[in-house]
Structure 1
Amino acid sequence: MEDQVNGKPLYDVVIFGASGFTGKYVVREALKFLHTPSSPLKSLALAGRNPSKVAQSLEWAAHPNPPPDIPILTADTSDPASLRRLAAQTKIILDCVGPFRLYGEPVVAACVESGCDYLDICGEPEFMERMEAGYHEKAVDKGSLVVSACGFDSVPAELGLMFNSRQWDPPAVPNSVEAYLSLESDKNVVGNIGTYESAVLGVANMSQLQELRRSRPRRPRPVIPGPPPPKGSLIEHQKKLNLWAVKLPSADSIVVRRTLASLTENPRGLPGVNESAEQVEKRENFWSTVKPAHFGVKMGSKSLLSIFRIIAVGMFIGLLGNFSFGRKLLLKFPSFFSLGWFKKEGPTEEEVASATFKMWFVGRGFSDSRLAADGNNKPDMEVVTRVMGPEIGYLTTPIILVQCALILLNQRESLPIGGVLTPAMVFGATDLQDRLQNNGISFSVISKNSLQA
């Protein structure tokens, strides 16, 4: 096959959608690890439908150095043959072409068919669950790992929840973990337009998602000690964190639920392709320390006005996203309907550099699991942890995506043979958390306290 040399793929990684807003930042992050000592990334290619735009992205990403000599391949989501050629030439495709419900499936189909691995930065539950329903069995057969949400959606949430749950030393058990996301900057940062488009299309496709879920067999739910937490009010003042917060309909909680369902079916995680006895023991030990909990995400801000702004944008998208004329308006005038948060031209480099995120995980549970067995007891213990890092869409997301790819290149034999899986099920027991910590995304324990009855 001309796409391979001696039966092996030509490239370790192909970045598809390399000229997009996020794609060019992914290229910049990947270049840091290309041909560097101890990095498994020895060969890289970039792909997109417009080679000259991809070349401009490479030049931007390499600046101030001259662009390295990297192959630029032409591929388009409307041309399945071009995607099959792409997948045949590489071990991994990093897909940055969203919205994924419009452009993702042909890329997944090509990767599964050729048996190469696929990672993306999707935060769209309907797309992820549709890929799981349609491609999981075939991906297992072909030895292709298909892992969505390998960016800010939803790795900080997944690893953050697991990090919090592992701080509950037996006999203590968590009951609920609430994540509070706070975005901070000294400039007015513009959000990623793809995120906005995905939210609008998510509302439009809500009925398809519900229909898809009804059509699939019910998965087992984890057994969580103690009663479910109370619903709480729409707006919360979290005094300990000095934040106002509002509940966010996010991909994070849906991805976490899928992980907890997988863990209920596979309490020791998923076996690797060719694990050593030591790797089996490491994986089983890791998953034995992860405890399930009710999980939700709230958007937090020090300003109550910002919370009302979040609610207003949510109402615009929720009301107008349900019919086609409303969606046209939302997509045509993103700056107006998002009250300035999203613009078609995206943020400047200075805005990106100035932004950071903090994600607080407030876990509540029981100092002794026997207390949870009595349904009348309220949680008597709280564990607060935090994940923090740089701007979410253009800095944190590429860091996570590239580290996931490096783990696939380096540790493929100890990872599941294939399937459409969540990031935690593939990378949870690996050194991903340590790698993120070494690349500017930190995990900390903030406090462990008793709660007053």
Structure 2
Amino acid sequence: GFTGKQVAAAIDAHVRRGWHVRWALAGRSSARLSELCARLHLKPHGILEADVKDNAALRGMAERCALLLNCTGPYRFLGEPVVAAAVGASTDYVDLCGEPEFIERMALRYGDAARDAGVRVVHACAFDSVPADIGAIFTAMQFTPPSRCAHVNMYHTVKVAEGASGAYAHATTFEAAVHGFAGVGEAREQRKQLLDRMEARAPGSSKGAPPIGPRLRARPGPFFHPRLQKWAFLFPGADAAVVRATQRALAASGANAVSDAAPGDATAAPPNTASGGAAQLSPQFAAYVCVNTTSAMVVMAIFGTLFNFLARRDWGRKLLLAHPKLFSWGAFSRKGPSKQMLDGTSFCSWFEGCGYSNPEEASPTKPFDRFVTCTVSGPEPGYVATPLLFLAVAQTLLDETAPELRRAGGVFTPGGLIGSAGRDSILRFVERCCVLGVDFRVAAVADGAFPKLHAKL
């Protein structure tokens, strides 16, 4: 698919720069893959033929590799056979899935088997949702104990170079969103089953670490953000669901990523305390997406309302799927974004963290007294930054030496896996992202009020 081509090109380029791995391409047609390699000048170490409808071929493919990177979407329809093959072959697996329903379904169906086999299945290793997932942890880490982060609000912003035009994304992403609305009821029941299972295994683990301070109430929008000088809407993607899943995983694992003790040290501070552990990394979280102008805000509000109305009805979904370009005001198309758009687009996700210098004094009515602003920024998010983030997760699974990561097994989010191994593993992952071209920065730290922004928006 469109994204798979970008991922293959990124892997090939990284191997040429010295990443010592042997890699292969797999798909329905070896002839078409050979044509792709010739057209893009790719040099994989092998080409394998495997169709998602052929379980034997998938199993044979999975048995020949140490790590399987799955770019086949929509995952709701095409992802499960690949997960099953990887778990059955005891092969680690990562994907680009930004579909919460699929992620939770895989946790229900394959979580125990993956845990027993020591297989790491990691979802959401793309723009959905590495910047949000790791960015929220990174922001919380800037609150050095005993201070603690209570809230993190994230704002995705995208900048398009003057003169660039055309679709922002491929229609497959639009289709996944449409089908996601169709399965809302099923997803709720599925999540309940998953949380019940977690609670039965470890009481309290389904809720994550207890929050501090006032309850964070997400604003559906649109609203004007005075510091960013942009209009913000509640982000409809997987970010908030992935961050919540990470926080539950950290609470269940007893993560202690902010203390001075070695990861997994039995003498370290227990989780869910103000001095360290999962509570330190688990602020209440909300995700937003921003537009620059009032006219863009009005257009987004109209099309968002129309999408919401149509996606909840069978006839409406058929209409949306038949005309993605029309019902997205040209943002999605079956051809995907042009090279001009890919080269001329960049993103910056802003994280505003607020909390307390002394969390023991926190209460629903006490004002915050510590504020941190962090950013995650990089090239075009969907098809340029996404392969880089995918590579960073793949490198972590292949090269990371932390014993918690090596012996882990189960179905994870990126933050749930990497965060459970401790502060050093998180920082090494952030460094990998920065080297690849997705930058994590602390923009400002202040007491009393949010500091002024010094970066150019």
Residue 301 of structure 1 corresponds to which residue in structure 2? 291
SS of the equivalent of 2:231 reads strand
Q: Any stretches of 5+ residues in structure 1 without a counterpart?
A: 1-19, 271-276
Residue 268 of structure 1 corresponds to which residue in structure 2? 255
Residue 190 of structure 1 corresponds to which residue in structure 2? 168
Deviation string 1:142-189 (CA, Å, 9 cap, x unpaired) is 221110101111111111111110111233222110000011112234
Residue 445 of structure 2 corresponds to which residue in structure 1? 448
- Counterpart check, 1:248 vs 2:235: yes
Residue 402 of structure 1 corresponds to which residue in structure 2? 391
Q: Summarize the alignment of residues 37-186 of structure 1 with structure 2, pairs less than 5 Å apart.
A: 37=18, 39-41=19-21, 43-62=22-41, 67-68=42-43, 70-186=45-161
Alpha-carbon shift at residue 291 of structure 1 (Å): 2.6
Q: Any stretches of 5+ residues in structure 2 without a counterpart?
A: 200-205, 270-275, 451-457
- Counterpart check, 1:387 vs 2:387: no
Q: Is the 8 A contact 1:269 1:425 kept in 2?
A: no
SS of the equivalent of 1:34 reads helix
Alpha-carbon shift at residue 288 of structure 1 (Å): 6.9
2:74, 2:86 → 1: CA distance? 18
Alpha-carbon shift at residue 407 of structure 1 (Å): 2.0
Residue 273 of structure 2 corresponds to which residue in structure 1? none
RMSD: 2.4
Task: Give the share of equivalent positions with the same residue, in percent.
Answer: 32
In structure 2, relative to structure 1, the CA distance for the partners of 1:159 and 1:229 (3 Å cut) is same
1:281, 1:402 → 2: CA distance? 29
Alpha-carbon shift at residue 100 of structure 1 (Å): 0.2
Residue 310 of structure 1 corresponds to which residue in structure 2? 300
- Code of the aligned partner of 1:56: E
Alpha-carbon shift at residue 280 of structure 1 (Å): 4.6
In structure 2, relative to structure 1, the CA distance for the partners of 1:306 and 1:229 (3 Å cut) is same
Aligned residue among 330, 334, 344 for 1:344 = 334
Alpha-carbon shift at residue 451 of structure 1 (Å): 3.7
Aligned residue among 22, 25, 34 for 2:15 = 34
Alpha-carbon shift at residue 301 of structure 1 (Å): 1.7
2:185, 2:217 → 1: CA distance? 27
1:152, 1:47 → 2: CA distance? 23
- Code of the aligned partner of 1:31: D
Q: Is the 8 A contact 1:388 1:442 kept in 2?
A: yes
- Code of the aligned partner of 2:443: I
Alpha-carbon shift at residue 289 of structure 1 (Å): 9.1
Aligned residue among 378, 386, 399 for 2:367 = 378
Q: Is the 8 A contact 1:40 1:406 kept in 2?
A: no
Report the more deviating stretch, 243-252 or 303-312. Answer: 303-312
SS of the equivalent of 2:281 reads coil
Residue 433 of structure 1 corresponds to which residue in structure 2? 430
1:89, 1:231 → 2: CA distance? 45
In structure 2, relative to structure 1, the CA distance for the partners of 1:448 and 1:51 (3 Å cut) is same
Alpha-carbon shift at residue 323 of structure 1 (Å): 2.5
2:332, 2:148 → 1: CA distance? 40
TM-score, scaled to structure 1: 0.87
1:232, 1:322 → 2: CA distance? 22
Deviation string 1:309-347 (CA, Å, 9 cap, x unpaired) is 222332232211223222121111100000110001111
Could you list the structure 1 runs, at least 4 aligned residues long, displaced by more than 6 angstroms after superposition: none
SS of the equivalent of 1:176 reads strand
- Code of the aligned partner of 2:211: I
1:101, 1:233 → 2: CA distance? 26
Deviation string 1:380-419 (CA, Å, 9 cap, x unpaired) is 3321111100111111110011121122222267314311
Residue 347 of structure 2 corresponds to which residue in structure 1? 357
In structure 2, relative to structure 1, the CA distance for the partners of 1:407 and 1:170 (3 Å cut) is closer
Deviation string 1:324-373 (CA, Å, 9 cap, x unpaired) is 2221211111000001100011111121011100100011222321331x
1:60, 1:175 → 2: CA distance? 50
Aligned residue among 237, 240, 256 for 2:224 = 237
Alpha-carbon shift at residue 55 of structure 1 (Å): 2.0
SS of the equivalent of 2:169 reads coil
Q: Is the 8 A contact 1:175 1:228 kept in 2?
A: no
Residue 9 of structure 1 corresponds to which residue in structure 2? none
| Count of residue correspondences | 421
2:82, 2:337 → 1: CA distance? 27
In structure 2, relative to structure 1, the CA distance for the partners of 1:346 and 1:242 (3 Å cut) is same
SS of the equivalent of 1:241 reads coil
